[in-house]
Every structure is written in structure tokens, then in C-alpha cells.
Chains A and B, each alone.
Chain A
């Protein structure tokens, strides 16, 4: 029986493990990816101050601390079921069963698809897949590609592909369908971009300021959007063009694109064939919550957090005794916020295992304050209403604990 098992060796899981090890708890961290770091590994962007956020270096720093504290990190281990017992949790994995008193689920996020016809062809991949191939495995995903889906994530990763010398034709919307709905709507996409632009790094900031924040200007911007797109780092971004179909027999050979109305309807007779050998689909991120659900944790739907999230408080406790959550499973935010949340979770767990130690209590307060500071200062913000979303989850936690 371990004191704590942490599922997910990303920024949240690793920072929580470090805090637990500092209090000498018996910790096991598991992750199904072959190396620790989670999706932090692939991240590479320039902060507004010009400094590079290099996910590999950030991971190395966390790993160094974890290793110095003799943390047991097991990669290639997939958790597929959780049982709650009277005094802890049983975690079923491909390497057998693990048991612990406390459980932290820090599984991060998954990518939503914005599928277009032909998307099952080899050479079509999620934008995150391209990021991992490029920055972690150092393999080019192709010679020339197109990005389907215009949002903060796809813009950041497009830049990463460019840095690796990969040629991008452009970034545009998916064609409208019942499953692509809001990703295919020029006005909604533009609203989303402008609302976050002031927080985002360099070139994205310029993209946002091209269109002032007032609604009528945004409306005009969509109405009279330049046919050649608006260039970011030399690559055209289109909100009035969409990828209609992906072609190829054994792998991607080309796409058909067309112009769309401000509401995302195809304009007939504007089809154009573009030769590409890869396509990245970017439908945004949602919290990866299945394990919290099978454990029996209650959920709250909060749009600004990316979907259904496990109910939790600012100490990262869920209404289930001994179950904690941290990182993107609690809502889509930057890796810095995830890392800060991990510290809170680690300290909360330490305090509960060690039976109320004053010193830890002080640390928890500081760590919670640090999460708020980090959130405020975040240069990549996925949703403008994040604070309201967090407040909604906090209320849900109070409701759940009162009714129990």
C-alpha cells in the first residue's frame, strides 16, 4: 500500500510528486507515454518578453528535482480502471494492480477532432500529434501541410512546425458540418481569436490588434476578410476559407478548399485544389476525465474550462475522500498553471497523510496564491472566462460537500 499514486507524469503530476517526496511520502507516479513530461515535452513558444518557453528544458528541471528526491516514476504504464475501497484506491494497470491511500489524477487533456471528409487517410493527424513528432521525436511530419482549425493552440503549434523547417501552406477552417459547427463559423472563430489575442505571444498579438476589439469592427473584419488571408509568421490565416475534402489513395496528396460566407456556408464555384502531403486537424482541447468518472467523482460542465470537469476545491480535493485532481483535467489552461496546481495537490495530500501539520498549511496557502498569480500572468489563455469557470466549480464543490 503506497501513500499516494499519481496518474500522469506531466507538469501537474511531477510537481505534485516533488511536493509529496519533500514530505517523504511513499509515492508512485505512472504514465503511459514512454517518457515523463506529458504534453509539456512538445511545448515551444516565445513569451511576450521574448524568452523561449522550452517544454523539454522545463521537463528536465522537474525531473531533476524528482530524481534528487528518489521519486518512483514508471512510464509505459496505462491505468484502465480505479476502485475506491474503504481506506484508499485500487488502480488497475497493464502492469498489474497498485494500491494507495491517496490518489491524484493528473491525466491532462485530449484533443477534440474537427473532422472533414478524407480525415482517416494516413498523413492526416491532430495538431498535437505533429507537435510531438516534431519537437520530441524530431521527425518531420511531411514536406508541405495545411492546418484545419484556427485557434490559439493551432497557431502556437504552426509556429513550432515552421521553426523545424516544415512548410505550411496556410491555416483555415474545417468545412461546416454537424460535428465541426463552431470551428467552421468565421464570426465565432474571429471572436475567439480577438478575445485571447492580447494575452498571446508576439505575432499573435499583432494578428489580434489588426482587428480592434469592438464588435462592429470584428463584424467588418469577417465581412471584408482579405482573400489572401492575414499573414502570421509569413503563413496566411484564413477565416473565410475552409478545407472541404482531403484526397489521396494511400496517403494525403491534396485538399480541396473553398471560400465561405461570414456564417461559414460554402460559396459555390470557389473550389480550389491545393497539393499537400500532410494535414493537421485542430479542434481544441478537452479535459481527459474518464478515470475520475470511473472512480465515482461528481462532475460539473463548464464551457470555459473545456467541458466536464471533476468537482474540486482550490486545494485540489474532490468530494471523494482521498481523491485529488490537478492540471488540465480540472480545465484547459497553460502548463504553468498545471505545474502550480500540482504543487497545491501535493501539499494537500502531504497534509492529509501527515495529520495536520501547521507548516504544510502555510505552504498550501502560498501554493494556492501562486496558482492565482500564474493564471493571471499566463501568456497563453485558452478561454477569456476562465475565472468565472473556476468559481463555478468551487461553488459546485461546496454544494456537494454540504449535501453529503
Chain B
């Protein structure tokens, strides 16, 4: 989809989109244009870009989820500052945005995932069983 097709220029109830100043920014080294009033997330989506980062460990793609700052799925690096929510950050002319990457040290759990307690009750039970095992030994 082209830039123009992604924008809702005319709207039957809200009317025509008002004239907005054009701003230029880069995302992962590529140059894009957005409007004043855009967030980083809306400007990128208007350019057809949905992937904003990858899962820090698995490298699987992530984009916006809630778009209002609650979920933190849209973390990007903006002008060198990491962990910036693209959905809440107003676009500025000349902004340098990079996508979130995999982390060099994977945050691997040392535990077998299936063995981890799923509820607090299970946690207590496992702890008690563990303590009982210890005292037997």
C-alpha cells in the first residue's frame, strides 16, 4: 500500500483531514515522511511499517498492540534513547528511530518451564514439598 492509501484523507463524518506540516525522520536508516501530530507509531504505519522491534530473546516480530502506552509492545530507540514507546512519542523533524533488537545475553530461565509453579498455592505446595524433602535428607 502506498503512503496515500494508508491515510484516511476523507471521512464521511469527521470530514477531510486538515493540512498538516510534513516531517522527515529515519527508521533503521531509511528516510520516511510523516505529519505534525503523528506519533512515531502512526507515522510508521502510514508508511506501511508494522514491525517496530523483535522479541529480545526469540527475535520474533512485534508491533503496536494497545497504541495508548499501556502495553509497552512498541518500544523503539529514539535519538539514542532506548525503550521509548512509539505510540506515545510525537514525531519530530529529523528524528532518528531504530527498532528494538535481540539482546546479546538471552534471559533464559534455568528452570524447566513445565516445572514452574503456575499459582501461588502451587508455589507454596512445591516449597513445602521441597522443605520436607530437605528435612528427610
B65 touches A125 (CB 8 A): yes
Residues of B within 8 A of A (CB): 1, 5-9, 11-14, 17, 37-39, 42, 45-46, 50-52, 55, 60-71, 73, 87-90
What are 24 A-to-B residue pairs whose CB atoms are below 8 Å?
A33-B88, A39-B68, A44-B14, A56-B14, A76-B88, A111-B70, A120-B62, A121-B61, A122-B52, A122-B61, A125-B63, A125-B66, A125-B67, A128-B68, A129-B66, A130-B67, A132-B68, A133-B42, A137-B39, A138-B7, A139-B42, A163-B12, A165-B8, A251-B50
A143 touches B1 (CB 8 A): yes
Q: How far is the CA of A133 from the CA of B40 in the complex (A)?
A: 12
A125 touches B60 (CB 8 A): no
Shortest distance from the beta carbon of B90 to any chain A beta carbon, whole Å: 5
A163 touches B11 (CB 8 A): yes
Shortest distance from the beta carbon of A375 to any chain B beta carbon, whole Å: 25
Q: Is A250 an interface residue (CB 8 A)?
A: yes
Residue of B nearest to A278 (CB): B50
Residue of B nearest to A160 (CB): B13
A-B contact count (CB 8 A): 104
Q: Is A374 an interface residue (CB 8 A)?
A: no
Task: Give 15 new A-B contacts, CB below 8 A, not counting A44-B13, A125-B65, A138-B9.
Answer: A34-B39, A110-B66, A122-B61, A122-B64, A128-B68, A129-B66, A132-B67, A132-B68, A133-B42, A133-B45, A137-B37, A138-B7, A143-B1, A163-B12, A251-B63
A126 touches B1 (CB 8 A): no
The residue from B8, B61, B68, B71 contacting A140, defined by CB atoms under 8 A apart:
B8
Q: Is A313 an interface residue (CB 8 A)?
A: no
Residue of B nearest to A108 (CB): B68
Give the contacts of A97-148 with B (CB-CB under 8 A). Answer: 110-111, 120-126, 128-130, 132-135, 137-141, 143
Q: How far is the CA of A133 from the CA of B6 in the complex (A)?
A: 11
A123 touches B63 (CB 8 A): yes
Q: Which residues of B contact A32 (CB under 8 A)?
A: 69, 88
Q: Which residues of A contact B37 (CB under 8 A)?
A: 35, 137
The residue from A39, A125, A135 contacting B64, defined by CB atoms under 8 A apart:
A125
B68 touches A129 (CB 8 A): yes
Residue of A nearest to B45 (CB): A139
B65 touches A163 (CB 8 A): no
Shortest distance from the beta carbon of B82 to any chain A beta carbon, whole Å: 15
Shortest distance from the beta carbon of B87 to any chain A beta carbon, whole Å: 8
Q: Which residues of B contact A110 (CB under 8 A)?
A: 66, 70
Q: How far is the CA of A123 from the CA of B1 in the complex (A)?
A: 14
A128 touches B42 (CB 8 A): no
Q: Which residues of A contact B5 (CB under 8 A)?
A: 140
